[in-house]
Structure 1
Amino acid sequence: MRSSTVALDVDHLTRLAGVKPAEIEVLRTIAELFRVSFAGATTISDNSAYASVRADVEEAVSWIDVLVQEYGIACVDINENAMRAACRLATYVVGKRADVRFYNSATSRLVLDDTTVSQIMRVVLRLVRSFVEHGPNISNGFAFADPQKYSMGDRDRYTVLVASGDGEFLIPYTSGTSRSQRPSRTRTTRCRC
C-alpha cells in the first residue's frame, strides 16, 4: 500500500474519531469526510471497466460502525472495520485528484496484514490522544504566511497552502502531521505526533 494512501487512512480515521454528530446527521457527516473519495469513486465508476466501484463504496461504508450515545449523539467506533473501510475509500481519491487511468483496482481489493492494521491503528490512537492533550483540530486548509499577503502571492518563506487531506492537522499550539517521513536534518516547524 502506498504511503500516501496510508496517510489518507490515518487522516480519515482520526477525523472520524473526532466527529460526534447528532444521530440523524451521521451519514451526512461521513459523506462530508469522505467527499473526495466518493467523488473519485463516481468518476472511476463512470468508466465501464470499473462499474462495480459504486457497490464497493457502499459496501465499505457499511463496515463503519456507528455507536449512539446519550441524547442522540453518535460516534464512530474506530475499530478494524472502520480502518479497512477508510483504506478502501482512500484508494478512490485518485479518481478525483488525478485521473481514472491511474486507478488500480487491485489496491481497492488489497487485504492488509495484521502488522499494517496495528501500525495504522497505533498512529490514529496517538493522534487522537494528541488532540485530547493539546486541543482539537482547529483548521482544515491553512497557510503559515499572513493571509492577506498569501492571497497576493507573498508566501513569506512558505511555498504552498496546506489544503489537501493527507494527514495535516492544525491544533491550538502547533501543527501536527500523520505522515511517516524520514527525519530531516534541518529544523522543522511541525510536530510529529
Structure 2
Amino acid sequence: MVSVTRRITQIKQPRGGYIKPKEFTVINLDDNQQLHSDENEHGIIVGLAVDYLTRFSLGTPSKKAFEISIRGAININKLDYAKQLLDSIVGLDDKSIISACKLVGFDVVFRAGTIAYTRPAETIAPDEDTISNIRIMVDRSLSFFKEYGPAIKDGFSFEGGYTNLINTGDGDFLTETALWDFKVSKNAPTKNHTLQLLVYYLMGMNSIHKEFKNIKQLGIFNPRINKVYLFNLDNIPSEVITEVSSEVIGY
C-alpha cells in the first residue's frame, strides 16, 4: 500500500492523461508583485511553508496547520524543538517564516520515513529573498481565497476512502463547491497533478466527509505564478470515473 502521489507514479495514463491539463480553464491573477528570481531553500520546503502558513493565516490553529510536521518530529524525538518552532509562528514576520521553513523540514519523516530525513531541520535557513517570496505567495493565497473561498476544510485526510492500494494521502483545501490543490511551482500542472486531484475527489466521495457531495469543480492554485486552473466535474466521462476508481484506487 502506498500514498496517493506514489500510486499515481505507478499508473500508465492514456495519452494526455485521464484529465488533460490543457482542458482546465486558466485564470491569471495580478497583484503587481514580483518574486525574487533566486531562493536558497528547496522548492519543497518553500511550497510546504506557503501551504501551512496560508492555513494558519486563514485561522487554522498552528498545531493543526503544521500537524504533519509535528508528527514527523515525534518520530525522531524532536518534539521539544518542533514545539519551540511552532510557538514562534505568530504571523508573516521574518521569524515566523524562518520557523515555518525549519518546522516543515520534519514533514519528510512522516511521509517517507526516517531514512528520508537527510537534512536536519536546524540547518534550514531561508535568506531574505526566500523569506520575501514566501510572504508574497502567502499573501497571494489569502487574496485567492477572498475571491474563490472561503475555505471550509483544509489539510484533510480520507478516512473511509482508503483502499488496499492507497492507504495514505491528504488534500489541501475545500471550498463550498471546489476541491483545490496548491502547487508552488514555476511550471503548469501536469497529467499527474490532474489525476491526483481526481483521485482525491473520488476518495473524498467515499470518505466520511459529507462536504464532497457538493463539489462541482477541481481546481489548482499556483501562488508562484499566480494562476488558477479550473475544471468542471461534469466534463469527465463516466468511463474515466469508473476506470480510475477501479484501476487506480481499487474500489
Q: Taking structure 2 as the reference length, what is the TM-score of the superposition?
A: 0.51
Pairs aligned (count): 155
Q: Which runs of 5+ in 2 are unaligned?
A: 1-40, 195-217, 223-251
2: CA distance between counterparts of 1:136 and 1:115?
29
Q: CA 1:3 to 1:40, structure 2 compared with 1: closer, same or farther past 3 Å?
A: same
Matched, 1:180 2:205: no
Range moving further from structure 2, 122-131 or 176-185: 176-185
2: CA distance between counterparts of 1:180 and 1:8?
12
- Taking every aligned residue pair, what percent have the same amino acid on both sides? 24
Q: CA 1:151 to 1:34, structure 2 compared with 1: closer, same or farther past 3 Å?
A: closer
| Aligned residue in 1 for 2:146 | 132
| Aligned residue in 1 for 2:127 | 113
Offset of residue 31 of structure 1: 1.9
- The residue type paired with residue 164 of structure 1 is D
| Aligned residue in 2 for 1:58 | 83
Matched, 1:192 2:221: yes
**RMSD, aligned α-carbons:** 3.3
User: Helix, strand or coil for the counterpart of 1:164?
Assistant: coil
Q: Which runs of 5+ in 1 are unaligned?
A: 21-28, 46-52, 66-76, 144-149, 154-159
Q: Taking structure 1 as the reference length, what is the TM-score of the superposition?
A: 0.64
Q: CA 1:95 to 1:151, structure 2 compared with 1: closer, same or farther past 3 Å?
A: closer
User: Helix, strand or coil for the counterpart of 1:190?
Assistant: strand
User: Are the counterparts in 2 of residues 15 and 33 from structure 1 also a CA contact under 8 Å?
Assistant: yes
Range moving further from structure 2, 174-183 or 131-140: 174-183
1:164 pairs with 170, 173, 183, which one?
170
User: Helix, strand or coil for the counterpart of 1:78?
Assistant: coil
Matched, 1:88 2:107: no
| Aligned residue in 2 for 1:7 | 47
